[in-house]
Chains A and B, each alone.
Chain A
Amino acid sequence: MKNDNFGKKVVGLIRDNTVPLMFILICAVCIPISGFSLPYLINEIVTRMGRNIFLILALLIPIMSGMGLNFGMTLGAMAGEIALIFVSDWQIWGIPGVVLAMILSIPISVLLGAFCGKILNMAKGREMITSYILSFFMNGIYQLLVLYIMGSLIPIKHFSIKLPRGYGIRNTVSLLNMRQCLDNLLAVRVGGVKIPVLTFIIIGVLCLFIVWFRRTKLGQDMRAVGQDMGVARDAGINVERTRIISIVMSTVLAGFGMIIYLQNMGNIATYSSHSQIGMFCIAALLVGGASVDRASIGNVFLGVVLFHTMFIVAPKAGAVITGDSMIGEYFRVFVSYAVITLALIMYETKKRKHKSLVGQQLQQAQKEADAHE
C-alpha cells in the first residue's frame, strides 16, 4: 500500500516535470558527444545565467496575474535598446552609462507597458496571441523611430552609430566601452570560472523583490485577478488597472533585463536583438518546468541552466553525429519552439480536462440507493 502510494507519487512527479526531465536527458546525451570540457561548459553557463536570468524573471509577474506568457516583453527590450542608443550617443560609458540607460528606459517602458496592458484588457482570454502580434506591431513602430526619426527629428550626434545617409541608426551599435562592466566589477574567478558577482547580486535583489512582492497587497490582488477576474471584481479589486500594472512592471523589468543582456554582449544588433528575445526567454522558462499559469523563481534558474546547456552543446553534438553543423543549429531552434508548443498544448488540455467524474458519481449514487432498498 505504502509502496503503491510512493509509486504513484513518482509517476505524478515525472508527469508534472516531463519537460525538464526531457531536457536533462537531451543534455546528458549531448554533453559527452559534444566533447566540451566541463570548465568550458560551466563558464559558458554562468555567463549566460548572468546575461539572461533578469530578463526571464520579468515574465513571472504577468503569469501571476493570469495573463499568460508575456510575448509583449519584447516591448521592454525595445525600450532598453532605445535607452542604450541614447546613452551611447551621449558617450556615457561604464557603470554610469548602464545606470543612466536603466533610468532612461523606465518612462519608455511604462508608456509601452501601459499601451500593451490597455490592448490586452480589450482582448481578455486571448492575451497571448494578442501580445504576440503586438510585439510585431511595435517592431514596426520601433523601426520607424530608429530608422527614420532618430537622426532626423531626434538629434543623434555621434557618427559611429548614425547611418552614413544622415539619419537612422546603424545595424550594430557598439557598446565596447561598457562591455561587461557590470559583470567585471566584483567578478571573482573560481577554478577558471568567472563569476559576475555584481550581476548575480542584482539578480538576487530582483528575486528578493519578487518574493517580497508576492506578499504585498498588490501582489495578492494580482494573484486574485489571475485566478478569477469576476470574483476579484466583486470583491472590489480594480481588475483592469491591476492587469495594466502587472504588464507595466513586466515591461520595465524586461527593459532592465535587456540592458544587462546587451552590456554582456557588448553590442546592439539594432534591428534584431529584441526580435527573438521573447521567444528564447519563454522557452527557457518553460524548460524549467513552468506552465502558462504557474511559474516560480526555481523554474527560471533550472530553465536557464538546462536550456542554455542544450543551446551550447546541440550544434557541436549535431555536427559530430551528422557531420553537418547546421543540423544542431536547427535542432535547438526546433526544440525551443517545440517546448513552447508542448507547454501551450498541456495548458489548454488541462483547462479542458473533462469532468465526466460527475456522471460516474451519479451512477454510483443510483446503485447505492438500490442497495439501501
Chain B
Amino acid sequence: MANANTPLLEMRNIKKDFFGNQVLSDINLTLREGEVLGLCGENGAGKSTLMKILFGMDVIRETGGYEGDILISGEKVKFNTPFDALAAGIGMVHQEFSLIPGFTATENILLNREPKKKNVISEVFGDRLNTLDYNEMTGRAEAAIDKMGFSIDKNMVISEMPVGHKQFTEIARELSKEQLKLLILDEPTAVLTEKEAEALLASIRSMSKQGIAVIFITHRLHEILAVCDKVVVMRDGLVVADVAAKDTTVEEISKWMVGRSVDTTAKAEVRDNEGAKIAMSIKRLWVDMPGETVRDVSLDIREGEILGIGGLAGQGKLGIPNGIMGLYEAGGTVIFQGQEIPLNSPRKCLDASLAFVSEDRRGVGLLLDETLEWNVAFPAMQVQNKFLKNYLGGLVKWRDEKAIREVTERYIDELAIKCTGSKQKARELSGGNQQKVCLAKAFALEPKFLFVSEPTRGIDVGAKALVLEALRRFNRDSGVTVVMISSELEELRSICDRIAIVSGGKIAGIRPASDPSEDFGMLMVSMVK
C-alpha cells in the first residue's frame, strides 16, 4: 500500500514525437486520489496524445513509444495495451461511443466482463460455454449506476436511448470495474443537454468523493471551473499552466490556450477591404456534416480578400465549405456575385466558378490510384470541357493527353511538387506533395472563388510554408477570393485579412487578423456546444 503522500498518478518528463515531429515535450503531471483535473487546450495541443500514452493505446507503441515515466501509486508502470491500463485501474470514456447498439445498458456495462455460472457442458468444452448470470449482471449494473449518481434505464436497448444516456452508459461501464481508480473523460459533455451536463458534473463530484480521480477534458471552460480541483492547460505540446481551479478564470484559461509568449508569427500585411464588393453572401446556413454540424451561419465574404475561418474541432468550421460545395446535406441561401447558388449540387457550384480543396485529401481530394495528370486535370475536364479534343462535331469528346500532361507539368514546376513525373500515382507522394496536387487541381479550374480546408494538416513545416505561399500568390496574382479554414489560429493570422471564428455551429465573431490571439481564443470557447 502506498503511503498517503504518494500521488495516485504521476507523469514525469513525458516526451513523444511522431516521426521526428515533437508533439509532447517534458510533460509533468500529478494527480491524487479523488482529485478532479481539468485538462484543456486547443486541438493539436497534445491532450489526446497524452491521454493515449496514459491509456496504453496501440498507436503510441506503433509509432515508437514515448519517453519519460508514468507512476501509479508510486510504482513505475508501462502499459502496452489498453487492457494493461484497465488492469491498473484506469478507465477512459472516449469521444466516440463504444457500445453495442442492440444490447441493453446492463449488457453493455458488463461487456466481456459478464458474471458467469458453470455448467456440465462448459466443464467439457471450456469456459466460454458458461452461462451468463443475469441476476448478478443486473445487480452489478445497478451498483455501477448508483455509483454514478445519474439514473438510466438499465434494461433499455442502446439504439433506443437518447444520446446523453449513451454517454452515461459508458461512464457506468467504467465505474463497474472494481479496480477503477482513475477515470478519463474526453469531452463527455459535447453531446449532452444542459441538464444532463449538470448531472454529469454532479456525478463527477460524487465519484471524487468516493476516491476516484478524474481527468476531465472539455472545451467548456466554466464546467472545468465548476467541478475541478485543478486545471492544466496545454499548448503546442507543453504544459503552460498548472493551477488550482479556484485561482483562475475563464478569461485567463482561454488566454493560456491560444496565447503566444513571443508573437513571432506576426502578420506581414493585413489589407483592409472595407469598401470592397461582397463576393459571397451566406445566409442561415445549416449543414449536416457528422461531427462538424453547422447550425446557423450567416457570413459575407468580400471580393479579393483572404478570409480565415477558425474554431475548435467539432464546432462546425469544416461543415461550412463542405455544405456549400454540396458534399453534405445543407440548407439556407448562398449568393455568389448576385446569383443564388443551389445547395446540395457540387456541379452547380463548380459551374459558378467556385472551387474547393477538401481537408480530407485521401478520401475526397485525390484519386490515389491514378496518375497526377488525372488528378490535376479531372475536374477541369468534367466541368469546363478543358483538355478535350472534339471529334465528329463534338459528339466524341476525346481526352487530350498532351494538354493534360502540359498542365500537370506546369503545376509540378510552379508548386515544386516532388515526384518522378506526371505519370506517377498520387498514392506514392508524401502528404505535403499530395496537398500541392490538390491545390493544382483547384487552380486548374481557374476559379473566381476558392475554399481551402485545412491545407496544412499533417504536412511538414517546409511544405506548410510553400502551400501557404502558393495560396497567397494565387490570391494576389489572380485576384481570387480565398476562404481558408484551419484549426491553427497562428497560421490563419499569418495569411488572412480577416478571421471568422466558428463556435457551436455559429459565427462567434469576425475580426481583422491583426487582433491579438487572446481575443480569438475567447471567441472560440464562447458558444461551445
Contacts and interface: CB of A to CB of B under 8 A. Distances in A.
Q: Do chains A and B touch in the complex (CB under 8 A)?
A: yes
A117 B329 CA distance: 40
Given A359-B331, A365-B295, A217 B132 contact: yes
Given A359-B286, A363-B286, A366-B286, A216 B295 contact: no
Contacts of A369: 296
B103 interface: yes
A356 B330 CA distance: 10
Contacts of B354: none
B226 interface: no
B293 A362 contact: yes
A306 B295 CA distance: 52
Contacts of B331: 359, 362-363
A236 interface: yes
A232 interface: yes
A340 B111 CA distance: 34
Contacts of A356: 288, 329
B98 A234 contact: yes
A189 interface: no
A334 interface: no
Nearest to B287: A362
A308 interface: no
Interface in A231-277: 231-232, 234-237
Given A215-B131, A227-B102, A220 B286 contact: no
A358 B288 CA distance: 6
A363 B295 CA distance: 8
B132 A215 contact: yes
B100 interface: yes
Contact of A362 (B100, B103, B132, B295): B295
Contacts of A232: 100, 111-112
A218 interface: yes
A231 B101 CA distance: 10
Given A224-B100, A227-B101, A216 B329 contact: no
Kindly name the residue among B83, B112, B295 whose own CB sees the greatest number of chain A CB atoms within 10 A.
B112
Nearest to B159: A227
Contact of A236 (B100, B112, B284): B112
A220 B111 CA distance: 9
Contacts of B128: 216-218, 221
B103 A212 contact: no
A223 interface: yes
Given A215-B131, A223-B102, A359-B331, A235 B288 contact: no
Nearest to B99: A231
B107 interface: yes
Interface residues of A, number: 26
B28 interface: no
B132 A228 contact: no
A235 B100 CA distance: 10
A216 B129 contact: yes
A151 to B, nearest CB: 36
Contacts of B130: 216-217
Contacts of A215: 131-132, 134
B472 interface: no
Contacts of B111: 224, 231-232, 235
Interface string B74-116: 0000000011000000000000001111110001000110101
30 contacts: A215-B132, A216-B129, A216-B130, A216-B131, A217-B116, A217-B130, A218-B128, A218-B129, A220-B107, A223-B100, A223-B102, A223-B103, A224-B100, A227-B101, A228-B100, A231-B111, A232-B100, A234-B82, A236-B83, A237-B112, A356-B288, A356-B329, A358-B288, A358-B329, A359-B329, A359-B331, A362-B295, A365-B295, A366-B286, A366-B296
Interface of B: 82-83, 98-103, 107, 111-112, 114, 116, 122, 127-132, 134, 284, 286-288, 293, 295-296, 329-331
